[in-house]
Each structure stands twice: as structure tokens, then as C-alpha cells.
Amino acid sequence: MGHTASALERTGGLRGRTVRNTDQDTFSEPINARGGATYSKLRLAHSNEDCAVGTDVLCQTTIATPVNMHGIGLHKGTMVHLVLKPAKANSGIVFRRTDLSTTDRAVTDIPARYDSVTDATMCTTIGNAAGTKVATIEHLMAAVSALEIDNLLIEVDAEEVPVMDGSSDAFIALLDQVGQKTLEAPRRFIRVLEPISVEDGLRKGTLNPCDDGLRIELSIDFDNLVIGKQDLALDISAESFRRELSSSRTFGFLKDVEMLRSLGLAKGATLENAVVLDGDEVMNEDGLRSPDEFVRHKTLDAVGDLSLAGAPILGCYQASRAGHAFNNQVLHALFANPDAWEYTTRRHQGGSPVENTRLAVSAD
Ligand SMILES: [Zn+2]
């Protein structure tokens, strides 16, 4: 399937999460179970296509300048300082803890990738081999990926990203403050080649080939009069994300919030950062932002979760009753099957991407 083997030079220290080739680029790659080793790593072969001003190959991006914000963390309830910094091409999205007593990057840094996820029960938490963690990354990741930002260093001085109002709005506003910078490297896309289906009890989902971009079709079904059955199908773009998803808030039930608080969790959870339901009643004074805010938020979550593939996905994700853990299972299933996906670049003509070019991938 177009995977050609070539020698790779490994670098130590990061437990094989990073593959460095002998030229210059460092990639964080999806771990791929090809080749019979415990794990093997893939890297992008050098593309023949240049990404420079004046060509029509879609280029990678980062933000133009650093930008920062403060906000309360959902679980600890303490103030968190978040700084977003530009990053070089092919470095991906990396979280860095700045409150630790070391600057050893193997300890402080966590790549925002599906195989860094350590817990996805309440929110999405990523961690590294040193045991460093960052929780509640999903609404920030959804904003970053929806705005098509490929490379970013995200510094946090706590174990969680600020929850803000429980939606992606504050992060979109933050990213809009600084704008973007185009980098001279082609943007890689992950093109789904074969359907990947996952079933986990009542949760079901399939990632299907679809060359035009990322499309998400979700349905939820809650035994609750306010939520009930809701579904939404949306082609994900910066524009559709801003219009349809960004402002939808996370939601929870009062009984669960009380239970979490008794365990010392959700200390920062208030009606300011979540829709809270008491039985069949919305407790927030201003009510919902849209009658289907719940499925919109689940779709926002899926955008963030799927961004942990490490590159934008060209595929259609159809799922019912999916949550963070399920979305992560789907990515694991995708990357467990090397024939089910490939890297591509895309060209744009007249403003819209029209052509995918398969990139050879080397595996060790
Ligand atoms: Zn969420």
C-alpha cells in the first residue's frame, strides 16, 4: 500500500515517540503496528512537492505571535495560566508543563496525540512516560484543529487546561487575537482508505473514506426530556465550527457533579462553565444556547478528539453515543491497520482544495 521501508535514525529519551531523520525534520508520528515489532514508527518521506509562497500546495501553519490567558481549571478549581507559542513546521501540537521543578523536555512535554491519552472518562487527559499529565485538553484542541493550526507549543502551569465557559469560544477568540503564520512545509493529511468500525456496547462508530475533508455525523440518545435524541451532520471547517459548534457548552447532571465533588473532583464546576441538568430541568438561568446544544457539544468534542490523530483527517466519522474514550478507540483502530490510511498533501485551486497527492511513508 505504498509504504516503503527505509532506514531511520532513532533518537533516545522520548520512548520512541519522536523519530528524527538525518536531515532536519522531527516528526511525532502515529505509532503503527506494522512490521511485527512491539511498535514501529512511521515518518513522512520527503515530498517532492515544495510548499512555498506562490505554489498551490497547502502549507502548514502556526500562530503569528505568542498569546496567553487565565482561567479556572475544572477539577482543581484553581487559576491556570495558559500560553500559546508559535512552533516550527512538523513539530505538531505539544503541551508543556511550566510548573514542574525541571526543564527536562522528556518530563515537561506531552505531544497532543491519540497514543498520549491516559484517561478519557470525564475529559481527555494526555500524559507522557514520565507521568506528567494535562487534563481537559479537548475544547482547546477542537479550536486549534478547526482553525487549521498544525504546530503549536501550549504551556500550562497546572495539570489542566482552563475550562473557560465550557465551550471553545474563548480559545477561538484567543487564536483570532494573534492570527496565523504560514510555514514552508506541506500540510500532511490522514486520508482514510478503508472503513474502520468500532462497537462498544451501545456505542457504535465508523470512520469512512471521504476525500473532501472531515465530516462528522453524530447521534446521541439520553433518557432525559431535555436532551432525548439529537443528531447532527456537519462538514467541519473553520467557518462551520465557528458558526455551529464553538459556543456549545459541556453538560452534566447535578447528581454527578455532587458525586464528583465528594471525591474532591470538579471543584471548579459551576453554572458558569457547564450546562447543568437537575433531572429534566436546565439549572442555568439563561437556559440553552440552542435546543440541540448537547449534540453540538458532542460534535465539538469529536473534533478535538479526532485532532489527536496528529494531522487533519480526510474522512467521514459516523457515530452514535460516542464519547471521548470511544473516539480515542476509533483512532487506535485506524492506526492499528496500516492499509486503512495514508498521508497525503492537498492542493487548492480557486480557494478550495481539489487534489490529494499520496505521500510515500517509510516504516521501520
Ligand atoms: Zn466537551
Instruction: Please write the tens of the pLDDT for every residue from 178-197.
Output: 999 999 999 999 999 999 99
Q: What is the 64 CA–ligand 1 centroid distance (Å)?
A: 27
Q: Which residue has the cell 487506535?
A: 332
Q: What is the 14 CA–ligand 1 centroid distance (Å)?
A: 29
Tell me which H or E stretch contains 207. Answer: strand 203-209
Whether the predicted pLDDT of 353 surpasses 90:
no
Buried b (16+ CB within 10 A) or exposed e, 228-260: eebebebebebeebbebbbbbbbbbeeeebeeb
Q: What is the DSSP string of 213-259?
A: SEEEEEEEE-SSTTTSEEEEEEEE-HHHIIIIITTPPPEEEHHHHHH
Q: How far apart are CA 117 and CA 81, in angstroms?
A: 22
pLDDT in tens, 217-245: 999 999 999 999 999 999 999 999 999 99
Q: What is the 194 CA–ligand 1 centroid distance (Å)?
A: 28
What's the mean pLDDT in 201-214? 94
Q: What is the 333 CA–ligand 1 centroid distance (Å)?
A: 22
Domain assignment present for residue 31? The answer is yes
Domain enclosing residue 26, as ranges: 3-44
Q: How far apart are CA 346 and CA 322, in angstroms?
A: 29
**Single pTM value for the model:** 0.84
Domain assignment present for residue 16? The answer is yes
Residues of the chain with pLDDT > 90, as a percent, come to 72
Distances (CA, A) of 104 to 13, 135, 152, 275: 10, 20, 19, 39
Residue pair 345/188 in contact by the 8 Å Cβ criterion:
yes
Domain assignment present for residue 76? The answer is no
pLDDT in tens, 134-152: 999 999 999 999 999 999 9
| Residue type present at position 103 | T
Half-sphere exposure of 363 (CA within 13 A, CB side): 18
Domain assignment present for residue 201? The answer is no
Which phi and psi (to 5°) does residue 320 adopt? -120, 140
Which residues are known catalytic residues?
A: 324
Q: What is the 19 CA–ligand 1 centroid distance (Å)?
A: 31
Domain assignment present for residue 40? The answer is yes
Residue pair 168/138 in contact by the 8 Å Cβ criterion:
no
The interaxial angle of helices 293-306 and 324-335, nearest 10 deg, is: 30
Residue pair 252/75 in contact by the 8 Å Cβ criterion:
no
Q: What is the 2 CA–ligand 1 centroid distance (Å)?
A: 37
Domain assignment present for residue 153? The answer is no
Nearest to 205 by CA among 216, 213, 191, 192: 216
Q: How far apart are CA 127 and CA 138, in angstroms?
A: 14
What's the mean pLDDT in 46-56? 60
Whether the predicted pLDDT of 309 surpasses 60:
yes
Domain assignment present for residue 117? The answer is no
348 pLDDT tier (thresholds 50, 70, 90): confident
Ion ligand 1 neighbours (CB, 5 A) are 250, 301
Nearest to 87 by CA among 105, 65, 69: 65
Domain assignment present for residue 19? The answer is yes
Q: How far apart are CA 362 and CA 364, in angstroms?
A: 7
46 pLDDT tier (thresholds 50, 70, 90): very low
Residue pair 47/342 in contact by the 8 Å Cβ criterion:
no
Q: What is the 230 CA–ligand 1 centroid distance (Å)?
A: 16
Residue pair 207/324 in contact by the 8 Å Cβ criterion:
no
Q: Report pLDDT for 121.
A: 84
Question: For the chain, what is the domain count?
Answer: 1
Q: How far apart are CA 345 and CA 57, in angstroms?
A: 7
